[in-house]
Amino acid sequence: MADYDALSSLLDPSGGSAVDEEPVSSGYNGQITPASFGAPSSAADARTLNAAARRSMPQPKPIDKKHPNDIWDVDDLPDAVEDDYDDGRAVPTYEIMHRQNITTADAYLGIPYVHKDPGSVDCEEMTIKIQLPGTKNVSELDLDVQATYLRLSSEKYKLNTYLPAKVDEKRGSAKWDARKETLSVVLPLVKEDPW
Q: What's the pLDDT tens digit per position in 2-27?
A: 777 777 777 776 655 545 544 444 45
* Span 143-191, pLDDT tens digits: 999 999 999 999 999 999 999 999 999 999 999 999 999 999 999 999 8
- Highest averaged pLDDT of the listed ranges 33-42, 55-64, 91-100: 91-100
Write out the DSSP string of 57-90.
SPPPPPP--SSTT-SS-GGGS----SS-S--SPB
- Residue ranges of the alpha helices (H) in the chain? 2-11, 43-56, 104
* Span 85-141, pLDDT tens digits: 778 899 999 999 998 877 777 667 766 665 566 777 778 899 999 999 999 888 999
Q: Using alpha carbons only, what angle is made at residue 127 by residues 164 and 125, rounded to the nearest 5 degrees?
A: 75
- Residue ranges of the alpha helices (H) in 83-133? 104
Choose among 127, 120, 125, 100: nearest CA to 188: 125
List domains and CATH numbers for the chain: 93-188 (2.60.40.790)
3-state secondary structure at position 143? strand
Residue 57 scores a pLDDT above 70: no
User: For 64-80, what is the mean pLDDT?
Assistant: 66
User: For 57-62, what is the mean pLDDT?
Assistant: 65
* Span 114-129, pLDDT tens digits: 556 677 777 889 999 9
